[in-house]
Amino acid sequence: MRLKICGMRDAENIREVLALQPDYMGFIFYHKSSRFVGTELDEDLLKSFPKSTKKVGVFVNASQAYILDTVKKYSLDYVQLHGEELPDFCKNLKFKGVNIIKAFSVDSTFNFAKLHNYKPHCDFFLFDTKVGEQVGGTGQAFDWSLLSRYDNEKPFFLAGGVGLANAAQTLDLKQLRIHAIDVNSKFELEPGLKDIDKLSELIKILKPEEVEM
């Protein structure tokens, strides 16, 4: 199981997390988020990442120009679109060479049919928990049984309230094309600062074969 650790910004904490060799690391470029990178994100540090850890920039209804400038500035590998971006917006970014993860907030009323028009223009989907108007970082899990309504055609990231208490359950969802588990608030000392001990425990659960090596 691959792992994405999101909501990073502190340089020393980024180095500590990087030593755990996550598959993806996420950085939030959304000013309303408590994990917004602000002006403190270390450009040189991000450009020194090993190829094994992909850098994901998270955007919410941002302009195409801002996204493209940010991708270039930090050498981002993926862009995660976490707002109301339409398929054509994804198509235009993809045409410019951007790898795209399109996020959707899921609750019992979510219509998975709306994903169809996004499929040609996205590399992965991401399913998060819908909590009012809040965008990600809720710390709450949605009812994973709702994913039985998904046609499973496009691999996806599973986000929203994944913690040590329920991480093992994600391994039982073998019928689903889960590309990676996405964690954030359940593994924090404070917004934007990750708990290395808790993340180490998570890796033992998700990647036991790597821990044994």
Tell me which residues are annotated as active site.
6, 128
Report the distance separating Cα 94 and Cα 78, nearest Å.
Answer: 11
Q: What is the 3-state secondary structure (H, E, C) of 105-145?
A: EECCCCCHHHHHHHHHHCCEEEEEECECCECCCCCCCCCHH
Report the distance separating Cα 205 and Cα 202, nearest Å.
Answer: 5
β-strand partners of 122:
none
Report the distance separating Cα 54 and Cα 50, nearest Å.
Answer: 8
Distances (CA, A) of 109 to 113, 130, 148: 12, 10, 14
